[in-house]
Amino acid sequence: MSAVPAGRKRGARAEVPITKDAIVETAFRIIEERGLEAFSMRSLATELGVFPATLYWHVGDRSCLLGLVEHRWIEEVVLPDECTDWRDWMLQLGRRYRAHALAHPNVARLATIERARNVDSLVIPDAIVGKLIEIGLDRDLVHAYNAIMGAVRGFVLLELSPRSEPDAESDVESDLRNLDEERFPNITAQFDRLGDHALSMRWSNGVDRPLNDSFDFLMSLLIDGLAARLPVTRP
């Protein structure tokens, strides 16, 4: 929108006051609308109509800023109602996390890949740990938590990581359609079901072709597995 800072006087205030929140908000928008590779400290500064150095005064360096963007994203996920069955609670939380990731895929990818820098983003982990203890998991608490967290966040990340750049979709599609039947007998035999629907075999991206049923299948594997490992409680 706005161009490079037009001849403002040295040290003069920006016409629109620059705040930390405005910077994070704009960074979020750039990443979501134009992709992470379109985001830079300089492009952000240009968008805000200030010099790059201004950003450093407000939010620190690039890494800090991305941490703030991640945090703004993850804190919008709302926990399910406490008083439902734990299986339902777990499924709902997984679905809400994933829905929020599909709504903001670029920031979601960023938040999963980069280490989260904000301690605040531990509200979901804390809730999961609490729920696992509540249902009686004790000895395998850490493993159950890691399994759920790793599987769910990992699945969503891979779902959102397309095989191809947007401009090369058709290339990938034809590569996959013409796989060698000798080398990949199983994939080629099942290609009508797998093509564009299975991880590593898609040409569309995760937002255009969401893997809803596969995600629910994974959630049911995890939840059933946990249920089977619960201590037997006589009602």
Partner DNA sequence: ACCTGAACACCGTTCAAGT
Work out whether 75 is an interface residue with DNA (CB under 7 A).
no
Burial of 144 (0-12, 13-18, 19+ CB in 10 A): buried
Work out whether 195 is an interface residue with DNA (CB under 7 A).
no
Work out whether 18 is an interface residue with DNA (CB under 7 A).
yes
- Residue 75 interacts, among DNA, a copy of itself, none and using kind-specific CB cut-offs from 5 to 8 Å, with none
Among 50, 91, 101, 222, contact with DNA (rule: CB under 7 A): 50
Interface positions with a copy of itself (CB under 8 A): 112-117, 119, 121-123, 125-127, 129-130, 133, 140-147, 149-159, 161-165, 175-176, 179, 183-187, 190, 193-194, 197-201, 211, 213-214, 217-218, 220-222, 224-226, 228
Smallest gap from Cβ 31 to DNA, in A, equals 11
Among 36, 41, 116, 194, contact with DNA (rule: CB under 7 A): 41
3-state class of 87 per DSSP? helix
Q: How far apart are CA 32 and CA 104, in angstroms?
A: 6
Phi-psi sector, 49: left (phi>0), alpha (psi -120 to 50), beta:
left
In whole angstroms, how far apart are CA 162 and each of 2, 85, 184, 193?
A: 32, 35, 21, 18
Q: How far apart are CA 226 and CA 229, in angstroms?
A: 5
Smallest gap from Cβ 52 to DNA, in A, equals 4
Q: How far apart are CA 161 and CA 153, in angstroms?
A: 12
Smallest gap from Cβ 124 to a copy of itself, in A, equals 9
Question: Would you say 14 and 88 are in contact if contact means Cβ atoms under 8 Å apart?
Answer: no
Contacts of 132 (CB under 8 A, 6+ apart): 141, 144, 145, 226
Q: Which is nearer to a copy of itself, 165 or 208 (CB)?
A: 165
Q: Which residues bind DNA (CB under 7 A)?
A: 5, 7-14, 17-18, 39-43, 50-54, 56-58, 61-63
